[in-house]
Amino acid sequence: MSEVIDGRKMSAEVIGKVKALTADLAAKGGGKPGLAVVIVGEDPASQVYVANKSRTAKECGFHSVQHTLPADAAEADLLKLIGELNADPAIHGILVQLPVPDHIDSGKVIQTIAPEKDVDGFTFVNVGKLGTGEAETAFVPCTPAGSMLLIERVRGKDLSGLNAVVIGRSNIVGKPMANLLLAANCTVTVAHSRTKDLAALARTADILVAAVGRPEMVKGDWVKPGATVIDVGINRIPAPEKSEGKTRLVGDVAYAGAAEVAGAITPVPGGVGPMTIAMLMANTVASAYLAAGLARPRF
């Protein structure tokens, strides 16, 4: 059986380091890191994530503010709020929880965030830095950044020459994940819904990242023996075995079968998910260090 990669433990370690850095920053006269979390509407999953982010920010010793806009808020009001947060010196990180309601242009909203406060790493400046080998000076999106820490924990920092297959090409996970693995000198293939013979391709992967949003799509016989499997999927599926109407959380990987073959694998829940919030805190404290003219802390 494979090693279970404990994302809760690793995220607690990252958060511990963020707390220490926050205390150090105050001692150096740099004040508190400030994080503004913006949510539009009442999507229940988004409400949970946003509450977790605000709570974790407070636990880290940050100045933490949450802005909740109604589902029918005008796009112009959201853009105005972002403009105010961009100009607020007490705020070092701004994030707009995704998805936003359909009448709002998420691309326009994201590109309104000042790149130096874009702790989600979604603005053109940060995406461009990552894509041109400048990841060191970029804010890297939290889920792929956290996935890289988990991969390094298992395989060490030298990933040079390993075959990596990323299933999924989203802007939030698949593409930045591929760029990070490329920057680490992996041979990277990005697969997606049009990829032919995905199972055979997946079997070439020393590092297999599943980020497609399709419950349990990656089967045990898609996994190369000894591979590191990173499951980014969070899918809620019916669980009639529990009782009528109940649901359970599964990843994009059929866990039991994959765990028999993999060298190491992330569970769902408790794998990549908790790292997303930890890396948001890491990016925010880094932003506050940069704003204070101090060297950027590394994770």
Ligand X SMILES: Nc1nc2c(c(=O)[nH]1)N[C@@H](CN(C=O)c1ccc(C(=O)N[C@@H](CCC(=O)O)C(=O)O)cc1)CN2
255 binds ligand X (CB under 6 A): no
CB 36 within 8 A of CB 94: yes
Contacted by 170, from Mg ion, ligand X, none: CB < 5 to 8 Å by type: Mg ion
In sequence order, which residues have a C-beta less than 8 Å from that of residue 121 and are 6 or more positions away? 127, 130, 138, 139, 140, 141, 142, 145, 176, 283
Q: How many CA atoms lie within 13 A of 153 on its CB side?
A: 25
234 is in an annotated binding site: yes
Q: Which partner from the list Mg ion, ligand X, none does 283 bind, CB cut-off 5 to 8 Å by kind?
A: none
Query: Is 118 in the active site?
Result: no
170 binds Mg ion (CB under 5 A): yes
Shortest CA distance to 91 belongs to which of 294, 295, 287, 277?
A: 287
Specify the residue for token string 């406060």.
Answer: 117
| Residue 98 binds which of Mg ion, ligand X, none (CB < 5-8 A, kind-dependent) | ligand X
72 is catalytic: no
Q: Does 52 bind Mg ion (CB under 5 A)?
A: no
What residues from 133 to 172 belong to the interface with ligand X (CB under 6 A)? 142-143
- Which positions from 89 to 128 touch ligand X by CB under 6 A, shown as an x/- string? ------xxxx---------------------x--------
Q: Which is nearer to ligand X, 234 or 285 (CB)?
A: 234
Amino acid identity for residue 205 in this structure: A
Give the nearest distance from C-beta 141 to ligand X in angstroms. Answer: 6
- Nearest residue to 194 (alpha-carbon basis) of 227, 225, 222, 167: 167
Does residue 160 have a known ligand-binding role? no
Structure tokens at 120: 């989600």
Helix (H, G, I), strand (E, B) or coil at 18: helix
| Active-site choice (17, 53, 175, 224) | 53
3-state DSSP assignment of residue 152: helix
Give strand pairing partners of 207. Answer: 164, 228
| CB atoms inside a 10 Å sphere around CB 237 | 10
Q: Please confirm, yes or no, whether 196 is among the known catalytic residues.
A: no
Q: Which residues bind Mg ion (CB under 5 A)?
A: 170
Looking at the annotation, which residues are catalytic?
53, 97, 120
Q: Which residues bind ligand X (CB under 6 A)?
A: 49, 95-98, 120, 142-143, 234, 249, 268-270, 273-274, 276-277
